[in-house]
Amino acid sequence: MPPHSDGVGAALQIDGSAVCLKAMFRLPVPDDLHLHLRQGPHLANYARDTAAQFGRALVMPNTRPPISGPAALREYRRQIVTACSAYAFEPLMSFKLAPDHDAQAVHALADAGAVAAKYYPRGATTNSEDGIEDLRTLYPAIEALQERDVILCLHGEDPSAFCLSRETAFLPRLEELVNRFPRLRIVLEHVSTADAVRVVRTLPQTVGATITAHHLVLTLDDLIGDLLNPHHFCKPVVKTPDDRNALREAATSGDRRFFFGSDSAPHRRADKECACGCAGVYTAPVAIAVLAGVFELDCPGAGDAEQPLWVRRLRAFLCENGAAFYRLPPARGELVLAPEEWLVPAAYHDVVPLMAAKRLRWRASRV
Ligand code: DOR
Ligand code: ZN
């Protein structure tokens, strides 16, 4: 049965011996405002997994070598667009802030079409050995970001702190930035703690925060509570049930400051299942289905005649809040969310995804 155009459509689903009516929903095609696509032979596969579900994505620059100059940024965008030519997909480009970036470098990157600059503290995560030691040394570059209205995306961890306290230890730096650059739009990426949610809520509307699908469903128990599961290892590390609950409350609240950034970060199986496993969870093919399950569970309210509350809140988180923060034009195209159980593959292109070999209750497809 085709989905109803106002988003209420219904589909018959067999549930055990009973036949029940379950709704199918239409949403604008969503945006992923934090994505890793890597370089080289695997880029095309990863990019297509995302383009099959999302219309736009903010592509992270922590490749090797990094995307830190205008020529690299233009070339990386060209490669992504070429890989995704079968889809209406727009990569939004970011660049990696380098210790030697000054105002002139920022202007050149803005002229090349960068919509965001990414700050990685040195040693905080994958490919950040060349990151920034002291954010204050970059204030002239940050001044230029503010002038050009380029968004500053923060990997908000202080790598010198204990691993579970790194995000909380970074939060005073965020407050300093907001005070010093009142017109600069800032995104605190992949928030992982109740502390971060609380602080973001106290800050002006120039500050937003992305939340991943994996931080909404995993805690430290899923990483090390039983046998070690390296496929749940990411930075920032997943934390306590209270932290996860605070993230879920923020994501499902409709608060416009919180929006989806998958931080989908593919590492091949051998680079995860080894003595020094890489940080990153691959979620591109499953994230929307996982989010649908979370929102359905956490937002049981009735909503209005058009859509249940959980679908409206999911739409805000996935399709509206981030696009509004980034001032993007309306999405072109739609996504259908169908109540169709499916088995997540054990691997995509030799990368083990979140929920590998598990069943999900919702299936998302672009139409
Ligand atoms: O888990 C992560 N993986 N966190 C990051 O900040 C980077 C990412 C990656 O590039 O693998
Ligand atoms: Zn990331």
Q: Beta strand 334-338 with 363-366: parallel, antiparallel or unpaired? A: antiparallel
CB crowding 104-115: b at 16 or more within 10 Å, else e: ebbbbbbebebb
* CB-based contact 210:197 (threshold 8 Å): no
Give ∠ CA 274-125-84 in degrees, rounded to 5. 90
Tokens of 255: 């608060």
Longest dimension (CA), the chain: 67
Query: Which residues have any ligand 1 atom within 6 Å of their CB?
Result: 36, 62, 125-126, 155, 234-235, 263, 265, 279-280
pLDDT category at 303 given cuts 50, 70, 90 is: low
Has residue 131 got a pLDDT over 90? no
The CATH class of 10-366 is: alpha beta
User: Which phi and psi angles does 186 have, rounded to 5°?
Assistant: -130, 135
- Domain limits, the chain: 10-366
* Known catalytic residue at 32: no
The predicted-structure confidence for 259-278, as pLDDT tens digits, reads as follows 999 999 999 999 999 999 99
Q: CA 298, 302, 307, 313 torsion: positive or negative?
A: negative
**Interval 4-10 mean pLDDT:** 33
Q: From its phi and psi, is residue 186 left (phi > 0), alpha (psi between -120 and 50) or beta?
A: beta
Q: Which atom of ligand 1 is nearest to the CA of 189?
A: 6
* CB-based contact 253:246 (threshold 8 Å): no
User: Which phi and psi angles does 201 have, rounded to 5°?
Assistant: -65, -25
Has residue 101 got a pLDDT over 70? yes
Distance 60 CA to ligand 2 centre (A): 7
- The whole-angstrom separation of Cα 281 and Cα 272 is 10
Has residue 22 got a pLDDT over 80? no
**CA nearest ligand 1 atom 10, residue:** 126
* 243 SS3 class: helix
pLDDT category at 357 given cuts 50, 70, 90 is: very high
Q: Beta strand 31-35 with 18-23: parallel, antiparallel or unpaired? A: unpaired
The ligand with the least distance to the CA atom of 63 is 1
Give ∠ CA 287-291-296 in degrees, rounded to 5. 155
**Interval 148-157 mean pLDDT:** 98
Has residue 8 got a pLDDT over 70? no
**Interval 150-164 mean pLDDT:** 97
* CB-based contact 4:25 (threshold 8 Å): no
- The whole-angstrom separation of Cα 217 and Cα 168 is 20
Residue of higher predicted confidence among 184 and 2: 184
Distance 104 CA to ligand 1 centre (A): 28
* pTM exceeding 0.75: yes
3-state helix, strand, coil in the chain (%, to 5): 35, 20, 45
- What's the mean pLDDT when you consider all of the chain? 93
Has residue 20 got a pLDDT over 80? no
- Residue type present at position 169: A
Tokens of 142: 């940050």
Nearest to 157 by CA among 121, 193, 192: 121
The ligand with the least distance to the CA atom of 279 is 1
| Catalytic, out of 243, 263, 271, 298 | 263
Q: What is the pLDDT of residue 18?
A: 38
Nearest to 265 by CA among 275, 277, 251: 277
The ligand with the least distance to the CA atom of 280 is 1
Q: Which atom of ligand 1 is nearest to the CA of 266?
A: 11
Has residue 309 got a pLDDT over 60? yes
Has residue 340 got a pLDDT over 80? yes
Near ion ligand 2, which residues have CB within 5 Å?
263
**CA nearest ligand 1 atom 3, residue:** 280
pLDDT category at 181 given cuts 50, 70, 90 is: very high
**Interval 197-212 mean pLDDT:** 98
Has residue 16 got a pLDDT over 50? no
Q: What is the pLDDT of residue 4?
A: 35
pLDDT category at 305 given cuts 50, 70, 90 is: low
- The whole-angstrom separation of Cα 150 and Cα 327 is 11
- The whole-angstrom separation of Cα 79 and Cα 42 is 11
Ligand 1 pocket test, candidate residues 32, 35, 36, 154, most atoms within 8 A of CB: 36
Distance 217 CA to ligand 1 centre (A): 17
pLDDT category at 208 given cuts 50, 70, 90 is: very high
Tokens of 93: 């480009």
Nearest to 337 by CA among 298, 302, 301, 296: 296
Per DSSP, helices labelled H in 112-157 are 139-148
Q: CA 344, 347, 348, 351 torsion: positive or negative?
A: positive
